[in-house]
Amino acid sequence: MFRFKRFSVCQQGCAMKVGTDGVLLGAWCALEASQRRVLDIGTGTGVIALMAAQRSAEARITAVDIDGECARRAAGNFAASPWGDRLEAVQADIRDFAPGHTFDHIITNPPYFSSSLLPPDSGRRLARHCVALPFADLAAAFDRLLAPCGRVSMILPADAADAFVEICRGTLSLSRRCDVRTTPSSAVRRSMLEFGRGGCAEPRHELLVIQTAPETFTEEYRTLTRDFYLKF
């Protein structure tokens, strides 16, 4: 059980556990009061959907995962939270998902390893290797499911972020990017991306450093995550 300030996440049976990537994205994505329909693609334990429910009092969040055990675990975590009436877990391949409406904000921590060796565990393959969901298919799902004035927020390894921006060119435009370093001197480890429809003159570029030394976290990281992590 992973405990946050206002909810807990049971991880049993889920291939991918609660991690820094998901928490960063759940805290960073720009949720607005007008965004009443939110979609979490590849929800896993449901942590990003739960963070969205905590942050946005009016939003109804649909959380989709291709893995049945993850969808069931997320549903249990939703029911145990204070926002169970606004959270729904669905087992589906996002390429076939047809809810009958579009979403104001789509959030995802997607599978991204395309050329590394596949792990033997089938759950981890689905969760972390884009053989199950190629980037082009994910971009097509964004285009199909996003409302006209909607936003997409996602996190990717830095070396995959530029490639995904190019895949989206012509349908979605990058409006905001945050590069994440573990320490001030380390290379950029992750990039969080925000897309919208239509042209964007110049995307806003941000930098987040997580810590200056082991367990010595920057004030920026503490500020971003303090509504969630017990240690802050």
What structural domains and CATH numbers belong to the chain? 2-224 (3.40.50.150)
Q: Partners of 205 in the beta sheet?
A: 177
What is residue 209's three-state secondary structure?
Answer: strand
What is residue 34's three-state secondary structure?
Answer: coil
Residue % of the chain over a pLDDT of 90? 84
* Pairing state between β 103-108 and 173-181: unpaired
User: Which pTM value belongs to this model?
Assistant: 0.91
pLDDT at 112: 61
For the chain, list residues with pLDDT below 70: 112-132, 199-200
pLDDT digit string (tens) for 120-174?
544 444 444 344 679 999 999 999 999 999 999 999 999 999 999 999 998 999 9
CB of 153 closer than 8 Å to CB of 30: yes
CB of 55 closer than 8 Å to CB of 28: no
pLDDT at 133: 77
C-alpha to C-alpha distance for 62 and 94, rounded to whole angstroms: 12
pLDDT averaged over every residue in the chain? 91
